[in-house]
Amino acid sequence: MYKVIFTLVLALASFMGLHAQEFQGMAVYESKTSTSDFKTRMEGNKNMAPDMQKMIEERMKKMFEKTFILNFNKSASIYKEEEKLDASAQAGGGMRMMSSMTGGGGTYYKNVKEKSYTIDKEFMGKEFLIKDSLPNLQWKMEGETRVIGGYTCYKATAVKAPSATDFRNFRPKREEAKKEEDKKESDKPAAEKKTNFLDAVELPKEITITAWYTPEIPVNQGPEGYWGLPGLILEVNDGKTIILCSKVVLNPKEKGEIKPSTKGKVISQKEYDEAVVKKMEEFREMNQGRGGDGGMQIRFGG
């Protein structure tokens, strides 16, 4: 009897400590996006030289495999890519643009109490400070469980519209669209044929998100813009990108600063998306026939 009471008191103390004002945690996430379908698409592009295909594959691998650190407390969090040498620093304009659209760069601050977020992001030489309301995903609780890093996790799913400013959301064009495009290109003179990599992809109307969260860490947080579940989200899978937690430290000796950035031009998510999409279209038009990695740089004015 005394043993049961002691166990309950210990559990309650841990729970209360987790919800104390000074509580803080740190989680490491490994983000990996599959590029196999893009590789297949490039191999079928007769207009792209083999050495260009190999170079793009190597750069994509580096861009789509990243490590992030999430520092969180009971009301806010800040998510940032682990600092390392910028593998795309010497890349051409096209690759620099895609690298800035694969989840890295800047910091992602979420305040779940105020239901707001702030992202500082550099795009094509200009700094932006995106401020907006957190997306309210309609999570559906599933019955499955699994263990991740020693924590019992529960499955939840949601459907959302993908962002056009995150290149990880793009998929290779459907086979029908690909055949139609290839037929049009085959009738053109060699000098006019399109080899821009952006012409090989399209944005789906919606994507299904699968998340695994643990009530054992009862904070309303997760990687990137994910939140809204009764426990820390340890894994997110959108069918193409997997973000998996590899390490969790509760109440670390050295606490990270959890504050939003203040640098950059303040802009809403919608305004930022519109500006980026516009530059993508400019890039597409200005780099036709350059093999998808033209050296031309496009910068925001002002």
pLDDT reading at 291 higher than 60 = no
Q: Which domain holds residue 156?
A: 23-286
Give residue for tokens 């925001």: 300
Residues with Cβ within 8 Å of residue 29, at least 6 apart in sequence: 67, 68, 69, 70, 223, 243, 244, 245, 246
In what side-by-side order are the strands of the sheet with 116-123? Answer: 140-148, 151-160, 207-214, 232-237, 241-250, 25-33, 65-72, 76-81, 107-111, 116-123, 126-133, 265-267
Give a yes or no: residue 152 inside a domain.
yes
Instruction: Give the pLDDT score at 162.
Output: 86
Helix/strand/coil for 254 = coil
What does the alpha-carbon distance between residue 10 and residue 13 come to, in Å, rounded to a whole number?
5
Helix/strand/coil for 272 = helix
Domains of the chain: total: 1
Tell me the residue length of the chain. Answer: 302
- Residue type (1 letter), 124: M
Give a yes or no: residue 293 inside a domain.
no
Question: pLDDT tens for residues 76-97?
Answer: 999 999 876 554 444 455 555 5
What does the alpha-carbon distance between residue 226 and residue 79 come to, in Å, rounded to a whole number?
11
Structure tokens at 1: 């009897």
Average pLDDT over residues 21-38: 84
Give a yes or no: residue 121 inside a domain.
yes
39 versus 238: the higher-pLDDT residue is: 238
Give a yes or no: residue 273 inside a domain.
yes
Give a yes or no: residue 30 inside a domain.
yes
Sign of CA dihedral 125, 126, 127, 132: negative
Instruction: Give the pLDDT score at 155.
Output: 98
Average pLDDT over residues 178-205: 60
35 — pLDDT class (breaks 50, 70, 90)? confident
Instruction: Give the pLDDT score at 300.
Output: 39
Residue-wise burial string across 110-130, b where 16 or more C-beta atoms lie within 10 A, e elsewhere: bbbeeeebbbbbebbeeebbb
Give a yes or no: residue 98 inside a domain.
yes
Q: Is the separation of the CB atoms in 219 and 251 below 8 Å? A: no
Listed range (46-55, 148-157, 179-188) with the worst mean pLDDT: 179-188
64 versus 50: the higher-pLDDT residue is: 64
264: left (phi over 0), alpha (psi -120 to 50) or beta: left
Instruction: Give the pLDDT score at 284.
Output: 73
Q: Which of 2-6, 174-178, 225-229, 292-296 has the highest mean pLDDT?
A: 225-229
Question: pLDDT tens for residues 152-185?
Answer: 999 999 999 988 788 787 777 765 555 555 555 5
299 — pLDDT class (breaks 50, 70, 90)? very low
Give residue for tokens 């997997």: 242
Instruction: Give the pLDDT score at 113.
Output: 95
What is the greatest pairwise CA distance in the chain? 86
Average pLDDT over residues 59-67: 80
Give a yes or no: residue 242 inside a domain.
yes
Give a yes or no: residue 292 inside a domain.
no
Instruction: Give the pLDDT score at 49.
Output: 72
What does the alpha-carbon distance between residue 170 and residue 55 come to, in Å, rounded to a whole number?
20
Mean pLDDT of the chain: 78
Instruction: Give the pLDDT score at 5.
Output: 43
